[in-house]
Amino acid sequence: MGIFSRIIDKRIAAYQKELIETHYEEVENMYRQMRGWRHDYRNHIQAMKAYAASGDLEAIKSYLDALDTELSTIDTVIKTGNAMADAILNSKISLAKSKNIKVKADAYIPFALKISELDLCVILGNLFDNAIEASLKLPEEKRLIRVYMDMKNTQLYISFTNFTATGKLKKIGGHFSSTKGEGHGFGLVRIDNIVKRLGGYINRNSEEGAFTTEILLPQACDSSPEKSISSPK
């Protein structure tokens, strides 16, 4: 049993390492786009000045429309007040949109969290990855992921809901099984282990056409809030 546990721990650690690297790669790609746009900012200004000097208002309007479209693809859409949550959520929302999956997110974190950035990354990353994977099985017009995060007294509440194409999922041994094949269930195990270690609560509910995961995590009673902005989408 000890050898088996060590093997499982190694596989989970390897999966976790891959997950973290993927998240940071996604975040870096997003900020790389932002840096590129800022680098071109002066050139954009010079171009519009040239149009203004010639009195070509239509050209200015068209140019601004093009810039607005480009900026909307790299704009930070969620500002929770927590840097790691912002990085993960925004990178995953960008990924979902690239796959034609609509995301409605409302996230607000007014306090410094007790949960480590590593644990937060694993939880949010896995929840989003599972929701994206399930959404890809649906027609584009039916793809939707709902994300909600807020403080409920001294607990962080996290909720993810996505529509599914498989109907109501079955439980095996009291748990919903992963539909992504061998090895992918480690993400679910990792979430469960983190929630248990932090003394939290997790509930997964499968109804016809929808799957919801709810998590409650106790937080430190620190009354000093971080700067935070609620961003419903």
pLDDT tens digits, 210-226 = 999 999 999 864 444 44
Look at residue 184 in the predicted model and tell me its pLDDT.
46
- On average, the pLDDT of the chain sits at 76
Q: Which of 26, 16, 23 is nearest to 187 (CA)?
A: 16
pLDDT band at residue 230, thresholds of 50, 70 and 90? very low
Is the sign of the CA dihedral 121, 126, 127, 132 positive or negative?
Answer: positive
> Nearest Cα to 172, choosing from 183, 162, 185?
185
Mean pLDDT of 12-16: 63
How far apart CA 180 and CA 188 sit, in angstroms, is 11
Structure tokens, 206: 């499968």
* pLDDT range class, residue 167, cuts 50, 70, 90: low
Using the predicted structure, report yes or no on whether residue 98 has a pLDDT greater than 70: yes
Kindly state the average pLDDT of the residues 95-104. Answer: 89
- Whose tokens are 């790299």? That residue is 74
Mean of the pLDDT values across residues 33-61?
81
- CA 103/CA 111 separation, integer angstroms: 24
User: Would you list the DSSP string of 179-210?
Assistant: SS-TTTTHHHHHHHHHHHHTT-EEEEEEETTE
Is the pTM value of this prediction over 0.95?
Answer: no
The answer to whether 106 and 232 are in contact (CB under 8 A) is: yes
- pLDDT above 60 (res 179): no
Mean pLDDT over 1-10 rounds to 65
**Nearest Cα to 92, choosing from 122, 66, 63, 119?**
122
Residue 20: what pLDDT? 63
**Token pair recorded at residue 103:** 């995301």
In the block, tokens 């109907």 appear at 167
Listed in sequence order, the residues at least 6 apart from 110 whose beta carbon sits closer than 8 Å to its beta carbon are 81, 151, 225, 226, 228
pLDDT of residue 71: 63
Residue 175 CA: distances (Å) to CA of 154, 172, 204: 27, 5, 9
In 88-170, beta strands by DSSP E? 102-107, 144-152, 155-163
Sign of CA pseudo-dihedral 118, 119, 125, 130: positive
